Structure 1
Amino acid sequence: MQELDLKFPTCPVRNVLARFSDKWSLLVLVCILQNGKMRYTEIRRSIPDISQKMLSSTLKHLEEDNLLVREAYAEIPPRVEYSLTETGESLMLAMRMLLDWSLQHFQEVTQ
C-alpha cells in the first residue's frame, strides 16, 4: 500500500471520503445503484426521511463530484433522471464490501 499524506489539505483519503460520507450521499448512491436511472420523486420516495432541500443539495453535490449524472429531457412536463457515472459505479463497487458488512453486522453495531 502506498504511504498516505494525512495532512490537510493534501490527504487524498480525507478529501475523497468527504465527498460522499455525509448522512445522505451514500444512501442516495445506493438507491440509484439498486434501481438504475431514477427521477427525483422516485429517490425521495425511496428515502422518505430526507427533506426536499437536502435531497436537492445532495444530488447537486454528487453531480459536481462526478458521481452522478443529471439528464434533463425537454418534455412537458420536464423530466430529469439521475444515474451513476463510471466514477460513481466504481465507487459503489468498492463500497460493496462495506454495504454487505453493514447488513451482516447491523444488530451487533446498533445494540
Structure 2
Amino acid sequence: MFRITKEFHFSASHQLAHLPAEHQCARLHGHNYVVEVELSAATLNSDGFVRDYHELAPLKHYIDEAFDHRHLNDVLGHDGVTAEYLAKHFYDWCKERLPETSAVRVSETPKTWAEYRP
C-alpha cells in the first residue's frame, strides 16, 4: 500500500462548555491546529502518484476560508468541537472529494494528536 500525507495549519478558538467549570477546556481558548491528511492506494496513477499534492489545494482553501481565525463552535454549529470531532469532519470532507483518503489526524498541541481512520 502506498501512502502520502500533507499537513495544513490554522489557528482558531473553541470552548467545551459542557465540561465542569473548573476544567481548563471549559473556558474559551484557542490552538494552532495541524491537520494531517493521509491518502492511500494499492497502485500508483499513470504519473507515479497516489495523487498529486496539488490536488489537495481545495482543502487548504476550505481550511483558510472557513476555519482559520474563527470560533469553531460557531463554524461547525456544535458545542463539543474536539480534535477528534475535527478529525472526523475533515475526513468526511476529504473522502467525498478524494476517494483515496484513508485517515485524518488533528493536533491541538505539539504533543497531542487525534486521528480518524475507518
Same fold by TM-score greater than 0.5: no
More strand by share: 2
Which structure has the higher relative contact order (CA within 8 Å, separation 6+)? 2
TM-score, normalised on structure 2? 0.24
More helix by share: 1
TM-score, normalised on structure 1? 0.25
